[in-house]
Structure 1
Amino acid sequence: MSTKVIELKSAPSLGKLYAKAVASSRGRRGKGGLPDVKVVRKGVKVDPSALADYDHVCGYTLREQLPATYLHNLVFPLQVTLFTQGKYPYPLVGSVHLDNTLTVHRPVTMDETLDLSTWATNARPHKSGVQVDVVSQVHVGDELVWEGLATYLYRGQRIDGDVPPRPEEDEAPDGPGIIWRLPGDLGRQFSTVSGDVNPIHMHPLSAKAMGFPSAIVHGMWSQAAMLAAIDNRLPDAYVATMSFRKPVLIPGTTRLVAHQGGQDGSWELALRNHRKGTELVRGQVRPIS
């Protein structure tokens, strides 16, 4: 059976896609397995104005090289398009972004023409439901220049198999760091530059309706801001992994701790609640030789 390819001619409206996803969530019962579907968009050119707005919200300096997280920003509408397909078995409403890994094979510049693609794979058990990997790629011509691996948790869903044990981890870095005072409208700021209008990020009341005590920051803002803080010290090729451990509530105050060590120049990162010290996001950056 061949893969079904859905080719987008332009960037879809995420607001409309979210409305479609919400309307169809109750009918998605986790049955039938992941569809063999790939969503693609070819010939994409970066809008310098949109990039500048994104850089401003996330803390990047505008330059020719695209932030790794901005490439995720470009493929995210493809992911949501995938989630709204009739045979996609899991509901977008209530899903949780657990981890996000970005692989930069080489710097990508804002004047290059990009081909984007996304598909879902590897549905497997989680103690709270089912987790699925969403793979995204960016090509320049025939060259693979960037990859994304986003792991989503669909709470309350079930799939056959055993829940794997959680691997042992070293302590995340702690100590002095960069203090960020996050405003209550940060979710709305990031939604403007990303198109991600998930209600949990937009307003305290809509977040409370989804079970959160207040609005929470987008995980992709956290990853972007953490990488932006060390952007001038990143190599040309690297793998950046972020694990979103606890919601980053807004308004709030956080502390970014970044330690560089090892012969390869790897980074260990942690975003913590500044007052309590609670680990909110854990990150690693590994150079590709």
Structure 2
Amino acid sequence: MTTHHETYTAPPFGPALMLNAFAPSRGWNPTDGFPDFSFIWRGYQISPAALATLQRAAGRDDAATADRLMLLAPHVTGFRLTMALLMCRDWPLPIWRALQLRNRLIRRGEIRIAFPSNLIVRATGWRVHDRGIELDIHAHLLQGDDCVWESITTFYYRGRFDGPASHGADDGAPMTSPAIDPELEPVAHWIAEGGDRLRWARLTGDYNPLHLLDVYARRTGFAAASAHPQRIAAECLGHLTKTSAPNQLDLWLKGPVYYNRAVTLRQTHSAEGEDFALWVDGDERAAMVGVIR
């Protein structure tokens, strides 16, 4: 199995990462599977400006919303390290074949703002299916000696893959999301605004033109450009009714949320916590489903 360990002392540079995306991939080897990569960002921190961007997306800055956003903040501002791993020249599959499916975000302690920290990401497990392969990227945030936050982001590569049916732990959000009744009374209704696109690309490190350019999105078969999933998650967290301080958020990303489209949020209480789902108006299937514990 190929090993690769890389350390950053500054944010991974987006344009350089995008150049890597155009380099030929070495291809899937069922014997090797995904390589043993670990990428470390030393000195990573969540800036007050980044948190303010999340609060603007949420539309609220009360204490309860800020508490929920702190669970999301490392996933947003540290996502570029995951992008750096997936766009590394030695990674076997190209980034443009990767679809983000699910997130599990876990808070294990107090997350401090503007505190120099270490963020570490690595591939931990994968599962081969008939029409694709799921990959889990595990991230954990160290502040001092304490792991205060971690996440498991599941990606999906379409195609036919040989090799063992599974490898490593399957600790992310379950494959099946909760079912939210689309007839429930909405808790919020708003327009998914199309401004600040480049700001969110810089914040996440995700410069996919599907999130930036309507013309490009239409040429690739989509109705328009769509918002970064992290942005939509922040909007949902800002519109939820009051919940207790959360320590885990599971998200299922089921479809694009196009800019300037009306969306509707529904929420219900379950044994697991608070379940919610967001619909783009006119669509039968929810675009995002979440459970906050």
Q: TM-score, normalised by structure 2?
A: 0.83
Q: For residue 107 of structure 1, report the CA deviation from its aligned partner.
A: 3.2
In the other structure, the counterpart of 2:179 is 171
Counterparts of 1:231 and 1:106, CA distance in 2: 24
3-state SS of 1:228 partner: helix
**Which residue of 210, 224, 227 maps to 2:237?**
227
The 1:183/1:198 distance shift into structure 2, 3 A limit, reads: same
The 1:104/1:170 distance shift into structure 2, 3 A limit, reads: closer
**Which residue of 129, 132, 142 maps to 2:132?**
129
**Which residue of 278, 285, 288 maps to 1:281?**
288
In the other structure, the counterpart of 1:141 is 144
Q: For residue 50 of structure 1, report the CA deviation from its aligned partner.
A: 3.2
The 8 Å contact of residues 121 and 137 in structure 2, kept in 1 or not, is answered as yes
5+ residue gaps, structure 2: 167-173
**Which residue of 70, 75, 78 maps to 1:75?**
78
Q: For residue 111 of structure 1, report the CA deviation from its aligned partner.
A: 4.3
Q: For residue 195 of structure 1, report the CA deviation from its aligned partner.
A: 3.2
**Which residue of 183, 195, 203 maps to 2:213?**
203
Could you list the per-position Cα deviations for residues 70-89 of structure 1 after superposition, in whole angstroms to 9, with x for gaps in the alignment? 10123212112212323311
Counterparts of 1:268 and 1:72, CA distance in 2: 20
In the other structure, the counterpart of 1:271 is 278
Counterparts of 2:234 and 2:119, CA distance in 1: 20
Counterparts of 2:36 and 2:178, CA distance in 1: 37
Q: For residue 170 of structure 1, report the CA deviation from its aligned partner.
A: 5.1
The 1:258/1:15 distance shift into structure 2, 3 A limit, reads: farther
In the other structure, the counterpart of 2:156 is 153
Counterparts of 2:156 and 2:178, CA distance in 1: 24
**Which residue of 106, 110, 113 maps to 1:107?**
110
Q: TM-score, normalised by structure 1?
A: 0.84
The 8 Å contact of residues 187 and 215 in structure 1, kept in 2 or not, is answered as no
RMSD, aligned CA: 2.8
Counterparts of 1:143 and 1:246, CA distance in 2: 35
Residue 89 in structure 1 maps to residue 92 in structure 2? yes
The 1:190/1:279 distance shift into structure 2, 3 A limit, reads: same
In the other structure, the counterpart of 1:241 is 250
Q: For residue 39 of structure 1, report the CA deviation from its aligned partner.
A: 0.5
Q: For residue 169 of structure 1, report the CA deviation from its aligned partner.
A: 6.0
Q: For residue 157 of structure 1, report the CA deviation from its aligned partner.
A: 4.8
Could you list the per-position Cα deviations for residues 252-276 of structure 1 after superposition, in whole angstroms to 9, with x for gaps in the alignment? 11111122344x7x10010112334
Q: For residue 277 of structure 1, report the CA deviation from its aligned partner.
A: 4.2
The 1:84/1:273 distance shift into structure 2, 3 A limit, reads: closer
The 1:128/1:250 distance shift into structure 2, 3 A limit, reads: farther
The 1:143/1:124 distance shift into structure 2, 3 A limit, reads: same
- Give 2:251's aligned amino acid: M
3-state SS of 1:96 partner: strand
Identity of aligned residues (%): 22
3-state SS of 1:159 partner: coil
- Give 1:11's aligned amino acid: P
In the other structure, the counterpart of 2:53 is 53
3-state SS of 2:55 partner: helix
In the other structure, the counterpart of 2:268 is 259
5+ residue gaps, structure 1: none
In the other structure, the counterpart of 2:120 is 117
Residue 181 in structure 1 maps to residue 181 in structure 2? no
Q: For residue 60 of structure 1, report the CA deviation from its aligned partner.
A: 5.0
Could you list the per-position Cα deviations for residues 109-168 of structure 1 after superposition, in whole angstroms to 9, with x for gaps in the alignment? 2143321100012122234321100100001112111011100111225233559xx976
The 8 Å contact of residues 80 and 204 in structure 2, kept in 1 or not, is answered as no
Counterparts of 2:267 and 2:82, CA distance in 1: 30
3-state SS of 1:246 partner: coil
Q: For residue 188 of structure 1, report the CA deviation from its aligned partner.
A: 4.0
The 8 Å contact of residues 96 and 152 in structure 1, kept in 2 or not, is answered as yes
Q: For residue 248 of structure 1, report the CA deviation from its aligned partner.
A: 1.6
